[in-house]
Amino acid sequence: MNKLTILPAVLAALAITGCSDAGNNTTTNEATPAADSATGKKYLSQPLVSQLYTADPSAHVFNGRIYVYPSHDTATGTPENDNGDHFNMMDYHILSMDSVGGPVTDHGVALHIRDIPWAGRQLWAPDAAFANGTYYLYFPVKDKQDVFRIGVATSQKPEGPFVAEKEPIKGSYSIDPTVFKDDNGTFYMYFGGIWGGQLQRWNNNKYDSAGKLRKGDELAILPRVAKLSADMKSFAEPVKEIKIVDSAGNLYKEKDNDKRFFEAAWIHKYNGKYYFSYSTGDTHNIVYAIGDNPYGPFTYKGVILEPVEGWTNHHSIIEKDGKWYLFYHDVQLSGKTHLRNVKVTELKYNPDGTIVTIRAQK
Ligand code: FUB
């Protein structure tokens, strides 16, 4: 058993430690842990918290502490469909911990959908960044026309509460923003997700409500990137596509769905190289591709995380105290696609810089 694995009962007790009221928060026990022995399943790691459902964990180290910015999954009774309407999230809670394996604090409601003036529905996977003495929370939500846009909210504290800007980021679209700070201090936002994430509706940064998914032999839809302005609230340049290629330099086709981009972009740097990782969606892997600069092209290298329990797969990667960690989610607590729980495990590199593939369930 992995040394990060903690017995669920112990973990549930730890998880509730420090739960605070940062807004109108009244966190009740939304999720009940099932012991491995009850389900007969063996997991590599246990949920970080079990008093609420969390997903899409974007982890960062701020002031020496790990902060996790997850989606807050909620059972709203919205029927399941291919657009992901059942992922009907209303707010964000931020989690933090001094170290992996230590007690986890749930900081309560950091931002609620009712406090985002332009929002319609579905607060999906967020990310965060620190600059200008301010913490920025980036989030995708459908606007009142039911089109996904990316918004930004600010706080003086990494755990919030956050105050949303009155409008979405100009020129932003689709879902799953991740913000990366390069060594020279430049910030880039990577984003996009196909199917329910609506990326198929955007070509050359123009919206087409009838935009269709690509056919098998057509080139796959590509993720997007834009440099952020110094104010961290706008794009400094037009949004660009990111090329993900095979070892011969060829772009993937839609039918290469065990390798092509679907959603859940993340980028980190290791030994001077840029590692762009993402979910392949309908084949449920987290995979990665390596490039020499933030815009790519990125050459496909392999699988970081094999499919987890549940349909979606979404992750982040950080370094803390000389070790690398993969944050991810599965549905151990609920068994339901849209009620997920975040987890963490150690990530290891091979001497050649490739990543050792992780299997989350044995
Ligand atoms: O949580 C809603 C959506 O599910 C996310 O935006 C995707 O990445 C997938 O995890």
71 Cβ inside 6 Å of ligand 1: yes
Q: In the predicted model, what is the mean pLDDT of residues 87-100?
A: 98
State pLDDT tens for residues 232-248.
999 999 999 999 999 99
What's the confidence (pLDDT) of residue 93?
A: 98
Which residue from 72, 176, 199, 342 has its CB within 8 A of the most atoms of ligand 1, so it is best to mutate? 176
Q: Distance, CA 17 to ligand 1 centroid (Å)?
A: 27
State pLDDT tens for residues 263-300.
999 999 999 999 999 999 999 999 999 999 999 999 99
Strand order in the sheet with 341-347: 316-320, 323-330, 341-347
d(CA 310, CA 228): 33
State pLDDT tens for residues 122-145.
999 999 999 999 999 999 999 999
Q: Distance, CA 205 to ligand 1 centroid (Å)?
A: 22
State pLDDT tens for residues 248-267.
999 999 999 999 999 999 99
Q: Distance, CA 160 to ligand 1 centroid (Å)?
A: 22
d(CA 237, CA 241): 12
Greater confidence (6 vs 335) lies with 335
Report, as residue numbers or ranges, the catalytic residues: 56, 263
What's the confidence (pLDDT) of residue 75?
A: 92
**Residue 162 clears pLDDT 90, i.e. is over it:** yes
Closest ligand 1 atom to the C-alpha of 71?
1
Closest ligand 1 atom to the C-alpha of 87?
2
Instruction: Provide, rounded to the nearest whole percent, the portion of the chain with pLDDT above 70.
Output: 89
Q: In the predicted model, what is the mean pLDDT of residues 62-91?
A: 96
What's the confidence (pLDDT) of residue 2?
A: 33
Instruction: Provide, rounded to the nearest whole percent, the portion of the chain with pLDDT above 90.
Output: 88
Contact by Cβ (8 Å): 48, 69? no
Which residue from 58, 199, 286, 314 has its CB within 8 A of the most atoms of ligand 1, so it is best to mutate? 314
d(CA 126, CA 141): 10
Which residue from 71, 93, 191, 337 has its CB within 8 A of the most atoms of ligand 1, so it is best to mutate? 71
What's the confidence (pLDDT) of residue 109?
A: 98
**What's the predicted TM-score (pTM) here?**
0.91
Averaged pLDDT of the chain: 91
User: If you classify domain 8-347 with CATH, what class do you get?
Assistant: mainly beta
Q: In the predicted model, what is the mean pLDDT of residues 195-220?
A: 98
Greater confidence (14 vs 275) lies with 275
Q: Distance, CA 186 to ligand 1 centroid (Å)?
A: 26
* 246 C-beta neighbours (distance < 10 Å), count: 13
Closest ligand 1 atom to the C-alpha of 197?
6
What's the confidence (pLDDT) of residue 40?
A: 77
* 214 C-beta neighbours (distance < 10 Å), count: 15
- Going by alpha carbons, the residue nearest to atom 2 of ligand 1 is 124
Give Cα 267 distance to the centre of its chain: 11
Q: Distance, CA 177 to ligand 1 centroid (Å)?
A: 11
What's the confidence (pLDDT) of residue 362?
A: 84
Contact by Cβ (8 Å): 226, 138? no
- Going by alpha carbons, the residue nearest to atom 3 of ligand 1 is 124
State pLDDT tens for residues 19-38.
333 333 334 456 554 455 45
Name the least confident of 7-11, 46-50, 284-288, 343-347.
Answer: 7-11
Instruction: For 16, list phi and psi in degrees, rounded to 5.
Output: -80, -20
State pLDDT tens for residues 171-180.
999 999 999 9
What's the confidence (pLDDT) of residue 27?
A: 42
Q: In the predicted model, what is the mean pLDDT of residues 297-310?
A: 98
138 Cβ inside 6 Å of ligand 1: no
What's the confidence (pLDDT) of residue 41?
A: 84
What's the confidence (pLDDT) of residue 205?
A: 98
Domain ranges of the chain: 8-347
148 Cβ inside 6 Å of ligand 1: no
List the one residue out of 266, 271, 273 whose CA is nearest residue 318.
Answer: 266
281 backbone φψ class: left, alpha, beta (φ>0; ψ -120 to 50): left
201 Cβ inside 6 Å of ligand 1: no
d(CA 6, CA 8): 6
Can you give the three-state secondary structure of the chain, one letter per residue? CCCCCCCHHHHHHHHHCCCCCCCCCCCCCCCCCCCHHHHCCCECCCCCCCCCEEEEEEEEEECCEEEEEEEEECCCCCCCCCCCCCCCCCEEEEEEECCCCCCCEEEEEEEEHHHCCCEEECCCCCEEEEECCEEEEEEEEEECCCCEEEEEEEECCCCCCCEECCCCCCCCCCCCCEEEECCCCCEEEEECCCHHHCHHHEECCEECCCCCCCCCCCECCCCEEEEECCCCCCECCCCEECCEECCCCCECECCCCCCCCCEEEEEEEECCEEEEEEECHHHCCEEEEEECCCCCCEEEEEEEECCCCCCCCCCEEEEECCEEEEEEEECCCCCCCCCCEEEEEEECECCCCCECCECCEC
